[in-house]
């Protein structure tokens, strides 16, 4: 009982009053810390690029950078969620289609959102170029405040046909993101990917890294009847390995 009484008395004992001068000083010090923290936050924020302020040409430079480094999250982030794709062929102009609703030719979920959509199709295009050694994917010109016109130049791509005729992109870029992607399809006398170079690369891998051949070239998950070639060989799991081996193969040519 004595212990309980002492505990009760201790808990109810009034706290000593903090001298007013000490309290004022403490509050002033805390306020100073907050001011400094706010200043540092403002400096940090001002040093970060504002995506909304990016010009169309700056956005296409980021596009090239994402392809050259294999940064698929960065490439996806360049597109608005409601971005639309339009295909213009020599014979007709198709209606615009939301990328999120489009069924791509790749079975792989490149952006990791659990869906395979038109965004994955565009990323796959950049991915097989990354795997093939591309250093500059697009050459672009800004034509007005919200528009860039680009050609697929495929600089550094190991399997580009020498007389490659480029596809043209017209990109509408609003608030730093692509809202409309127009692809102008051109008539070509031959496939822009040089199959003889692709065959030479595969043989080189077979001769020099046979343990990787099945992993890199066998696509058992593709629809029946499709003969996988260079674009279809590239997956999220193999793109980096292809990039390294293509570089090694080219160095030995």
Residues 188 and 248 in one domain: yes
pLDDT tens digits for 187-207? Answer: 888 899 999 999 999 999 999
> How far is 69 from 74, CA to CA, in rounded Å?
10
Q: What angle do CA 125, 128, 132 make, to 5 degrees?
A: 140
Residues 60 and 38 in one domain: no
Domain range enclosing 8: 2-47
CA proximity to 80, closest of 172, 182, 143, 184: 172
Per-residue pLDDT at 109: 97
Residues 73 and 106 in one domain: yes
Report the number of distinct structural domains present in the chain.
2
Per-residue pLDDT at 219: 75
**Torsion over CA of 109, 115, 119 and 125, rounded to 10 degrees?**
20
Per-residue pLDDT at 51: 54
Report the CATH number at residue 156: 3.10.450.50
Residues 25 and 137 in one domain: no
Per-residue pLDDT at 223: 59
pTM of the full structure: 0.77
Residue 166 CB contacts under 8 Å (≥ 6 apart), including other chains:
151, 152, 153, 154, 186
Per-residue pLDDT at 25: 47
Residues 39 and 147 in one domain: no
Ranges of residues in the chain with a pLDDT under 70 are 1-52, 220-228
Residues 228 and 133 in one domain: yes
Residues 118 and 168 in one domain: yes
- The total number of residues shown for the chain amounts to 253
Residues 27 and 134 in one domain: no
């Amino acid at each position: 009982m004595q212990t309980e009484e002492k505990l009760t008395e201790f808990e109810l004992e009034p706290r000593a009053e903090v001298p007013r001068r000490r309290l004022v000083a403490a509050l002033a010090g805390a306020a100073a810390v907050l001011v400094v923290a706010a200043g540092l936050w403002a400096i940090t924020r001002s040093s970060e690029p504002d995506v909304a302020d990016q010009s169309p040409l700056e956005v296409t430079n980021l596009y090239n950078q994402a392809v050259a480094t294999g940064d698929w999250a960065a490439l996806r982030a360049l597109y608005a969620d409601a971005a639309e794709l339009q295909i213009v062929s020599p014979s007709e102009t198709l209606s615009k289609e939301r990328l999120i609703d489009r069924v791509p030719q790749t079975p792989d979920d490149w952006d990791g959102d659990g869906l395979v959509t038109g965004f994955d199709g565009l990323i796959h295009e950049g991915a097989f170029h990354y795997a093939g050694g591309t250093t500059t994917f697009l050459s672009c010109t800004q034509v007005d405040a919200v528009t860039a016109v680009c050609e697929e130049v495929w600089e550094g791509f190991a399997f580009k046909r020498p007389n490659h005729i480029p596809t043209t992109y017209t990109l509408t870029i609003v608030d730093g993101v692509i809202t409309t992607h127009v692809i102008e399809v051109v008539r070509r006398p031959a496939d822009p990917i040089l199959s003889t170079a692709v065959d030479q690369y595969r043989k080189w891998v077979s001769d020099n890294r046979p343990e990787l051949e099945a992993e890199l070239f066998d696509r058992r998950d593709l629809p029946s009847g499709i003969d996988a070639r260079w674009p279809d060989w590239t997956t999220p799991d193999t793109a980096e390995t292809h990039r390294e081996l293509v570089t090694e193969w080219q160095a030995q040519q």
